[in-house]
Amino acid sequence: MGDLLDALGLYARLVRARVRAQLQYRGSVVIETVAVVIGTFFDFVVILILFTNVPRLADWSLWEVALLYGIATLSFALTDLVVGHLDLFPQLIRDGNFDLVLVRPRTTLLQIVTRDFQLRRLGKALQGLVILAYAVSQLPIAWTPDRVIVLGIAPIAGAVIFGGVWVAVISVSFWTVDANEVANAFTYGGQTLAQYPMNIYDRWMRRFLAYVIPTAFVSYFPALYVLGRPDPLGLPQWLQLASPAVAVAVLVAAGTVWGFRSSTWPMCARTSASAAPLCARSTGSRSRSSAAPSWATSGRTAPASRRR
């Protein structure tokens, strides 16, 4: 527990430092955030256009789908804010800089997720929150304390699910040259799938989203409980309350995959034969860039341009 609190404290300090640095250019932050809000809103425009042609989507009304959209978008925005820069991780593997992460006295994942923090990503969270709030105001929901709790927990549990999936699939970078496309298919693609009701998809896709990549637990099951409607797929009702448990399970699985592979990652000093050429090129480029100049090893005086 002490190590966890220490890691969270370090994360908070690093994030504060990055926020202070970005706030030195407040105009830029505002412009970029507004641009993200506008760009993200076009995803919802697609839903509006869809409902101009059909009155209901698989027995879901516009504002019921908007509820799904708001939960999914807010969940993914929180994930993107915290770990979205995992997109840069494959580059660390390719250029050999992940070796530098390994030798530092901190957990590797903490170092990776604190390499960047962009305030503009709050724009996506703001847009999702606005759509979610407006959808709730338009729906005839019979509010009870348990429904309020489920709706409040849903974006947090969804963010943890998306984060766990992101960490797990980006770990493919340990085995492949570039895993960004694989990761994007499950993260950004998973967000899009979660914005719509599961019963519009084919059976194999529904099973995949419920039992393999549990995107259905991000918005679909919590929305069913909040709306008080039966599952059109006939699945057990307890699944509508299982999002927090699924989030914990996904987080544990992702941590296991990342921890196992990062702890056994072959650094250049002990790399495998198949990875040796890449490692040699990586270390070679670094050694050439960091090698001492000829005048420093020959005993000659440094050139005037070097002495200035």
- Dist. CA 165–CA 149, nearest whole Å: 24
Look at the pTM and tell me if it is higher than 0.85: no
Query: For the chain, how many residues are written?
Result: 308
Residue predicted with more confidence, 50 or 7:
50
Note the pLDDT of residue 128: 93
The 3-state DSSP class for residue 1 equals coil
Total domain count, the chain: 1
φ/ψ of residue 175, rounded to 5: -115, -20
Determine, yes or no, domain membership for 272.
no
Q: Is residue 184 part of a domain?
A: yes
In a domain, 146, yes or no: yes
- Inside any domain, residue 290: no
278 is a domain residue: no
Q: What is the pLDDT of residues 135-171, one digit of tens each?
A: 999 999 999 999 999 999 999 999 999 999 988 888 8
Task: State the SS3 of 238-290.
Answer: HHHHCHHHHHHHHHHHHHHHHHHHHHCCCCHHHCCCCCHHHHHHHHHHHHHHH
- Would residue 274 count as lying in a domain? no
Three-state secondary-structure class, residue 60: strand
**Domain-embedded: residue 308:** no
pLDDT tens-place string over residues 171-183: 887 777 677 777 7
Question: Does residue 108 lie within any of the structural domains?
Answer: yes
Which residue range forms the structural domain that includes residue 165? 18-265
